[in-house]
């Protein structure tokens, strides 16, 4: 199945928000609501898309700070893993304290589990995930172009991140990597050139 997406930038710390949709069904999801919702909503409306869910790759503030606005606009459920539900409720683990705030978010409406679409990739946070849609891999803060997520925030783990990245590197090298910050890459490019191998 072929999917299309649009990246929205300009969130806190340059975080990316993605709108992902099936062009045949016109059903869409929002991945990481860290950018203001109005632009995303206007774009979805221009294509007559129905947003049926909001997916959190992890619960850090710069990726979820507009979550309530998205939920209100689209009347759509929020999905993340059980560990991230716990992180959302803790200002230290959701990193909102680093932005001069102490936000306690409600838990997600749906708890995702490891499978063919939701890939559990802990390390940056304990409940981080990647989303696989056809040849598109949305990696959150697990894997970036030429870099990888830090593990010294909240409940990160370098050992878990290493296992998660090795899992991603075992996937199809042609997969397009769409990270939580910065520009796109491919699994093949990161496997060959990402300095994580030296970590």
Residue 199: pLDDT band by 50, 70, 90 thresholds?
low
Cα dihedral 113, 133, 53, 93, rounded to 10, equals 50
Place of tokens 């997969």: 175
What are 79-126's pLDDT values in tens digits? 999 999 999 999 999 999 988 889 999 999 999 999 999 999 999 999
Residue 49: pLDDT band by 50, 70, 90 thresholds?
very high
Pick left, alpha or beta for residue 14 (phi over 0 → left; psi -120 to 50 → alpha; otherwise beta): left
Kindly report the CA angle at 147 between 155 and 142, in degrees rounded to 5?
A: 40
Burial class (CB in 10 A: 0-12, 13-18, 19+), 111: middle
What CA–CA distance (Å, rounded) separates 4 from 26? 10
Q: What is the pLDDT of residue 1?
A: 79
What CA–CA distance (Å, rounded) separates 98 from 146? 25
DSSP labels, 13-51:
GGB-EEEEE-TTT-EEEEE---S-HHHHHHHHHHTT-EE
- Residue whose C-alpha is closest to residue 18's, from 112, 147, 137, 128: 137
């Amino acid at each position: 199945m072929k999917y299309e997406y649009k990246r929205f930038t300009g969130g806190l710390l340059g975080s990316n928000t993605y709108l992902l949709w099936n062009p045949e069904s016109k059903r869409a999801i929002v991945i990481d609501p860290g950018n203001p919702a109005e632009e995303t909503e206007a774009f979805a409306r221009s294509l007559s898309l129905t947003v049926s869910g909001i997916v959190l790759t992890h619960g850090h503030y710069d990726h979820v700070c507009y979550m309530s606005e998205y939920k209100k606009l689209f009347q759509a459920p929020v999905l993340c893993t059980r560990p991230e539900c716990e992180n959302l409720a803790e200002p230290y683990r959701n990193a909102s304290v680093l932005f001069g705030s102490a936000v306690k978010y409600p838990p997600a409406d749906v708890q995702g589990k490891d499978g063919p679409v939701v890939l559990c990739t802990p390390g940056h946070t304990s409940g981080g995930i990647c989303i696989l849609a056809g040849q598109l891999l949305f990696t959150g803060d697990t894997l970036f172009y030429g870099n990888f997520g830090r593990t010294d925030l909240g409940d990160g783990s370098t050992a878990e991140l290493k296992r998660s990245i090795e899992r991603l590197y075992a996937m199809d090298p042609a997969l397009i990597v769409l990270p939580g910050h910065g520009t796109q890459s491919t699994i093949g490019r990161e496997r060959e050139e990402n300095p994580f191998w030296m970590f």
